[in-house]
Amino acid sequence: MDNDFPTIKTDRLLLREITDVDLENIFNGLSNPNVVQYYGISFSSLDATKEQMIWFADEKQMWWAICSLDNQTFYGAGGLNSISHKERKAEIGLWLLPKFWGKGIMKEVLPLISDYGFDQLKLNRIEGFVDTENVNCKNAMSKLDFQHEKTMKDCEIKNGKPISVDVYAKTI
């Protein structure tokens, strides 16, 4: 637990530090086929998910648990990773449990995360790498002022098949 980890609140949401008590929450998300469909990682056991908790704790990442304002309900997680203070850039990511999709949570949270990156971490550039098939995410990125920069065709292998990735970025 890092007492200095920033907490962000809106009228309905609480963005708080991810701690060890979230192991099951993270497993529920990153073992759900609908959540990880376009995602680069997935976990099949609570034990395997501990690797992700170590990743969250690394200083190159700044990820929040996205919860109801009263912290009673866990909706998902979002944040900045591969933070480079030298290059003043980071990658942004977000996932929600399916029952909380379509409620405008991404639209509300992504600007909070990118604003934190620009204002507090003094970044110049925040980028998002989105599987070309992930239409929901691409629609959302465009609506949130992330510029589509390019499509990297067949740039990764996922489940034995090549996938293409769209690069979105926001700069100040």
Ligand X SMILES: CC(C)(COP(=O)(O)OP(=O)(O)OC[C@H]1O[C@@H](n2cnc3c(N)ncnc32)[C@H](O)[C@@H]1OP(=O)(O)O)[C@@H](O)C(=O)NCCC(=O)NCCS
For binding to ligand X (CB under 6 A), which residues are involved?
35, 38-39, 93-96, 101-107, 134, 136-137, 139-140, 143
Nearer to ligand X, 60 or 103 (CB): 103
Task: Write down the least CB distance from residue 92 to ligand X, Å.
Answer: 8
Task: Write down the least CB distance from residue 143 to ligand X, Å.
Answer: 5
Task: Write down the least CB distance from residue 133 to ligand X, Å.
Answer: 10
Nearer to ligand X, 65 or 137 (CB): 137
Task: Write down the least CB distance from residue 22 to ligand X, Å.
Answer: 16
Nearer to ligand X, 39 or 118 (CB): 39
Per residue, the 3-state secondary structure of the chain, as one string, reads: CCCCCCCEECCCEEEEECCHHHHHHHHHHHCCHHHHCCCCCCCCCHHHHHHHHHHHHCCCCEEEEEEECCCCCEEEEEEEEEEECCCCEEEEEEEECHHHCCCCHHHHHHHHHHHHHHHCCCCCEEEEEEECCCHHHHHHHHHCCCEEEEEEEEEEEECCEEEEEEEEEEEC
